[in-house]
Protein backbone atom coordinates (compact mmCIF):
# COMPACT_ATOMS: atom_id res chain seq x y z
CA UNK A 1 0.00 0.00 0.00
CA UNK A 2 1.33 3.37 -1.02
CA UNK A 3 0.40 6.94 -0.28
CA UNK A 4 0.27 8.93 -3.48
CA UNK A 5 -0.86 12.40 -4.41
CA UNK A 6 -3.96 12.15 -6.64
CA UNK A 7 -3.01 15.31 -8.51
CA UNK A 8 0.55 14.17 -9.29
CA UNK A 9 -0.80 10.85 -10.49
CA UNK A 10 -3.51 12.36 -12.71
CA UNK A 11 -6.25 10.79 -10.60
CA UNK A 12 -7.79 14.16 -9.84
CA UNK A 13 -7.36 17.79 -10.71
CA UNK A 14 -7.96 20.71 -8.43
CA UNK A 15 -9.70 23.85 -9.54
CA UNK A 16 -9.33 26.68 -7.08
CA UNK A 17 -10.25 30.33 -7.34
CA UNK A 18 -7.71 33.09 -7.01
CA UNK A 19 -8.10 34.86 -3.64
CA UNK A 20 -7.20 38.17 -5.28
CA UNK A 21 -9.22 38.28 -8.48
CA UNK A 22 -11.48 35.23 -8.25
CA UNK A 23 -10.18 33.78 -11.49
CA UNK A 24 -9.24 30.14 -11.99
CA UNK A 25 -5.78 29.16 -10.79
CA UNK A 26 -3.58 26.65 -12.54
CA UNK A 27 -1.64 23.88 -10.85
CA UNK A 28 2.03 24.74 -11.32
CA UNK A 29 3.17 21.47 -9.84
CA UNK A 30 4.75 20.30 -6.65
CA UNK A 31 6.57 22.95 -4.64
CA UNK A 32 9.68 20.81 -4.14
CA UNK A 33 10.20 20.64 -7.90
CA UNK A 34 11.28 24.27 -7.85
CA UNK A 35 14.16 23.54 -5.52
CA UNK A 36 14.99 20.03 -6.61
CA UNK A 37 14.32 19.35 -10.25
CA UNK A 38 16.74 16.49 -10.81
CA UNK A 39 14.58 13.88 -9.11
CA UNK A 40 10.92 14.53 -8.40
CA UNK A 41 10.64 10.91 -7.22
CA UNK A 42 13.23 11.28 -4.49
CA UNK A 43 12.13 10.26 -1.02
CA UNK A 44 10.25 13.32 0.11
CA UNK A 45 10.29 12.63 3.83
CA UNK A 46 13.07 15.17 4.31
CA UNK A 47 11.95 17.88 1.91
CA UNK A 48 8.38 17.62 3.18
CA UNK A 49 9.48 18.67 6.63
CA UNK A 50 11.52 21.56 5.24
CA UNK A 51 8.45 22.66 3.37
CA UNK A 52 6.20 22.54 6.40
CA UNK A 53 3.87 20.00 4.84
CA UNK A 54 2.76 16.87 6.60
CA UNK A 55 4.11 13.59 5.35
CA UNK A 56 0.74 12.56 4.00
CA UNK A 57 0.31 15.76 2.06
CA UNK A 58 1.77 16.90 -1.24
CA UNK A 59 2.36 20.64 -1.43
CA UNK A 60 1.30 22.12 -4.74
CA UNK A 61 1.77 25.58 -6.06
CA UNK A 62 -1.17 27.19 -7.82
CA UNK A 63 -0.69 30.14 -10.10
CA UNK A 64 -3.16 32.74 -11.31
CA UNK A 65 -2.42 33.76 -14.92
CA UNK A 66 -4.65 36.84 -14.60
CA UNK A 67 -2.98 38.63 -11.70
CA UNK A 68 0.23 36.63 -11.16
CA UNK A 69 -0.83 35.52 -7.71
CA UNK A 70 0.60 32.31 -6.29
CA UNK A 71 -0.75 30.09 -3.58
CA UNK A 72 0.39 26.89 -1.91
CA UNK A 73 -2.17 24.18 -1.33
CA UNK A 74 -1.43 20.90 0.41
CA UNK A 75 -3.04 17.95 -1.38
CA UNK A 76 -3.96 15.03 0.84
CA UNK A 77 -2.31 11.82 -0.35
CA UNK A 78 -4.53 8.80 -0.87
CA UNK A 79 -3.85 5.10 -0.40
CA UNK A 80 -3.63 2.90 -3.46
Does residue 59 interact with Zn ion by CB under 5 A? no
Does residue 71 interact with Zn ion by CB under 5 A? no
Determine the interface stretch with Zn ion among 20-28, 31-39, 44-52 (rule: CB under 5 A).
20-28
Q: How far apart are CA 25 and CA 48, in angstroms?
A: 23
Q: Are the beta carbons of 52 and 46 closer than 8 angstroms?
A: no
Least separation in angstroms between residue 7's CB and Zn ion is: 5
Does residue 64 interact with Zn ion by CB under 5 A? yes
- Residue with smaller CB distance to Zn ion, 5 or 53: 5
* Radius of gyration for the alpha carbons in the chain, expressed in angstroms and rounded: 13
Q: How far apart are CA 51 and CA 63, in angstroms?
A: 18
Amino acid sequence: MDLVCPVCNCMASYLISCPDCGGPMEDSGVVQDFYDDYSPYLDRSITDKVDGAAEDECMHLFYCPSCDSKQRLPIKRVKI
